[in-house]
Amino acid sequence: MTGFLRGSVTATITPFTEDGVDLETFAELAEFQLKNGTDALVVLGSTGEPATMTEAEKDSLMRFSAERFGERTKLLFGSGGNCTRDAVNASIRAERAGAHGLLCITPYYNKCTQNGLAEYYRAICEAVSIPVVAYNVPSRTGVNILPETMARIAELPNMAGIKEASGNMAQILETARLIREKCDLYSGDDALNLPILCAGGTAVVSVVSNLVPRDVKALAEAALAGDLARAISLHDALLPLVKACFSEVNPIPVKAGVNALGFSAGVPRAPLTPLEEGHRAELYAAMKHYGLKVIA
């Protein structure tokens, strides 16, 4: 299927307190996104640290998101995993909680075959009636959805697209060629938002938009409208901030950045650690250079 996502999508952080998920701060962050034009939100994607959350915490955040924001924006809930049975059950729970779509990372650690990937996404798609987005990020999972495999997966009726974060533009271009008119291509790598949009991508799933949602939205709009000069200008300005947001593994830096904007997002959960001081200085410098007010 095509046409599910268009524009800018923010991969939201999950704010934590010592007692659990901070739902009120999450609501503040979601409001900040919607007021600045973000087209959809990903909840419980990699940026949201679902690997460190209990099932009860995930269910609570999904229900809260759907009740508070489900009528105002599209919500994608992360529901993938390295056990197909568990990923199917998580996808069913996410649909029941009010998801408009699912973001399903490839199975990690198991290092399944390409046939295994195809069967994994088939099982998820057949278990739910809402759109499903495949998430390809080999650096985290050890598994890569090859273009020919994605062409097979794209035949599933409710497969809406692939969030590409492989970092391999040659592969991404070949995937785009093979899935065109079947499902959509989304950027999952802020440094490659511009070239992926220019290759026919229809949306960006962004981390840096946690800090600058209005500008990521403007970049997506410009590229989709064919205003390449404006898109290039916006992308060039964003790149130093993007680099600072990935000085350590995501979401360590961006969570520190959200706190520096004045929100109370807390710190990442172990085994992730707070941003190291040298990288914190780099992040704050990049934010200030970009024109953001840093509250530290």
* DSSP assignments along 79-148, one per residue: ---SSHHHHHHHHHHHHHHT-SEEEEEPP-SS---HHHHHHHHHHHHHH-SS-EEEEE-HHHHS----HH
Cα three-residue angle 174-176-178, rounded to 5 degrees: 70
Catalytic residue among 58, 120, 121, 163, which? 163
Q: Which helix (H) or strand (E) holds 49?
A: none
Catalytic residue flag (residue 111): no
Catalytic residue flag (residue 135): yes
| Alpha-carbon distance values, 182 to 158, 160, 277 (Å) | 10, 8, 46
The answer to whether 260 and 279 are in contact (CB under 8 A) is no
The sign of the torsion formed by the CA atoms of 16, 17, 20, 26 equals negative
Catalytic residue among 121, 135, 186, 284, which? 135
3-state secondary structure at position 10: strand
Task: Give me the residue label for tokens 């706190």.
Answer: 259
Task: Give me the residue label for tokens 């489900």.
Answer: 70
Q: Which residues contact 41 (CB under 8 A, 6 or more apart)?
A: 9, 10, 12, 30, 33, 65, 69, 73, 74, 75, 76
Q: List residues with catalytic annotation.
A: 135, 163
